[in-house]
A = this chain, B = another copy of it.
Amino acid sequence: MADLDTRLDEMIARLREKGYRLTPQRLAVLRILAASQKHPGVEGIYERVREDFPMTSLATIYKTVTLLKEMGQVMELSFGGMGCRYDGRNPHPHPHLICLQCRNIVDADVGDVTGLCKEVSRKTGYRIVSHRLDFFGICRECQEKK
């Protein structure tokens, strides 16, 4: 849990640093984003926050997530057809594995792409800021269900 706490602490520190307030709703969102392996979407965060704070509005979730995104403390993953999903545990580019059946998203620990970034930059003249590498497929559980 140390990792998770340091992530949470980091997020809180970054908020404070910029003079943003730490409301109970915000803290609840931070907690979820700092801890969740499941790359939740806004709706998912909303439901979980409402377990503790039933009057929380969806707009607040959006505002908080957007704020964190702009501060570089969460990474947004957008997919056609569904709302965006968020990774607060590791807000830097890294590969993801998406199951097309159960829609779960997990981190994929394969060699990173920084080498490729450099190659692309050199070949094209672009200044590469970020990247995204996602694999789509069927997870083991869903293969067995079939």
Contacts and interface: CB of A to CB of B under 8 A. Distances in A.
A131 B135 contact: yes
A135 B120 contact: yes
Contacts of A137: 121, 126-130
A106 to B, nearest CB: 8
Interface stretch (A18-26, A27-35, A47-55, A76-84): A76-84
A67 interface: no
A1 to B, nearest CB: 24
A58 interface: no
Interface string A88-118: 0000000101011000000011110100110
Nearest to A139: B126
Nearest to A119: B110
Interface of A: 76, 78-81, 84, 95, 97, 99-100, 108-111, 113, 116-117, 119-121, 123-140, 143
